[in-house]
Amino acid sequence: MRSEISPLTKHENRHTIPQALPYPLRFEPIYQYRLWGGRRLANLLTAPLPSGPVGEAWILSDRDDYASRVAEGPLKGQTIGQLLKQFPEQILGKLAHRFRRFPLLLKFLDVHEMLSVQVHPTKANLNLLPAGETAKTEAWVVLEAGRQSRIYAGLKPNTTEADLRRALTNGTVAARLSCLTPKPGEAVFLPAGTVHSLGGDLVVFEIQQNSDVTFRLYDWGHVDAKTGKTRALQVNKALACVDFAEGPVGRVTPLVETTTPVERERLFNCEHFVLWRLRGQSSFTVGAVGVPRILVCVEGAGQVEHGGATYAVGKGDVFVLPAAIGTCVFQPHGAVNVLEVALPD
């Protein structure tokens, strides 16, 4: 069994559910077809993959079209959006007044071929956004990489809009992009407005603002097998969003905060999210008082202990620790690699 959650008794009903809170909430992944995807997410997640190339697993999504659902316990089947409406203070704590929906979107990507060369809008591009959408800053943690894996992040120095337009015309876009050869464990931060792409048998964890707006500059000649057609580009909108002053984007240098009982490294700290990587074999503390935390297990297995119950955590699992829980103990079963995510106060 995944956990030791007591089921509702015959005397309990929906009106007693608030007494079932709080408990660590595991969510089911939502797989997404992508023409550039592969089959490697089967090595990361236990839920069976659908047929065809699977490029993304949305592991925490508060979107109307793709809503993450609780996998087990009294709240099984409830979406993250439904929980925020019913129990905003229990889930978000002192942050409840700030968000009408969960502000982050978490994914695993399996990029077998190259992702399109693309850019996400910034706060200065609100006129280009559909109603209800936001700008989109994101970041990647590399989980698997091969010899052909590449990350393109940012433009080479002194590249202008005219330079990029010429490169789009003559098919030399890659020559204008800053290129990295990634290794497992490396991390890259992509502020909104950064031109980027990645691929070549690359598996990454992605954290981003809860927005699904992407403008494609270039698509490497991909033809969608489902339609037999190339995908649409949004060159003018993309160019309007590019931060030409940014230049190349490099790897993040982790900041080691503790080494015992767990190695705790901070990888990202921006206005939208904070992310730590926790690696070790001894029990350690996760969660925080008064605010939610998210756990994503990317290697190994273990269990979260709270309120006298244990909740099994396997590779690929994502848990939301509601604010009302406070801190919990994570007990590894051997060596683990867990990502912990916070929303800035």
CATH number at residue 71: 2.60.120.10
CA 76 to chain CA centroid, Å, is 22
For residues 232 and 294, state if they share a domain.
Answer: no
Which residue in this structure is represented by tokens 């190259």? 114
176 shares its domain with 120: yes
The answer as to whether 93 is a domain residue is yes
* Domain match, 97 and 36 both: yes
Are 141 and 269 found together in one domain?
Answer: no
Q: Are residues 223 and 275 in the same domain?
A: no
The answer as to whether 249 is a domain residue is no
155 and 273 belong to one structural domain: no
Residue 157 domain flag: yes
Q: Specify if 33 maps to a domain.
A: yes
Model confidence pLDDT, tens digit, residues 241-296: 999 999 999 999 999 999 999 999 999 999 999 999 999 999 999 999 999 999 99
On the question of pLDDT at 121 being above 60, the answer is yes
The answer to whether residue 205 sits within a structural domain is yes
Number of domains in the chain: 2
pTM of the model: 0.93
Within its chain, how far is the Cα of 250 from the centroid? Answer: 19
Residues 233 and 147 in one domain: yes
Asked whether residue 9 carries a pLDDT value surpassing 50, the answer given is: no
Considering the domain architecture, whether residues 43 and 165 belong to the same structural domain is answered as yes
Domain end: 216, 241, 266, which one? 241
Does residue 5 surpass a pLDDT of 50?
Answer: no
Boundaries of domain holding 212: 15-241
Domain boundary among 219, 241, 263: 241
User: Of 241, 275, 290, which residue constitutes the final position of a domain?
Assistant: 241
Same domain as 264, residue 219: no
pLDDT for res 11:
33
| 194 and 98 belong to one structural domain | yes
Q: What is the pLDDT of residues 178-224, one digit of tens each?
A: 999 999 999 999 999 999 999 999 999 999 999 999 999 999 999 99
Residue 10 has pLDDT above 80, yes or no: no
Closest CA to 306 of 7, 22, 76: 22
Burial per residue of 147-182, b for 16 or more beta-carbon CB atoms within 10 angstroms, e otherwise? eebbbbbbbeeebeeebbeebbeeeebeebbbebeb
Residue with tokens 């297990």: 297
- Residue for token pair 């900041």: 255
What number is the average pLDDT over the span 87-94? 95
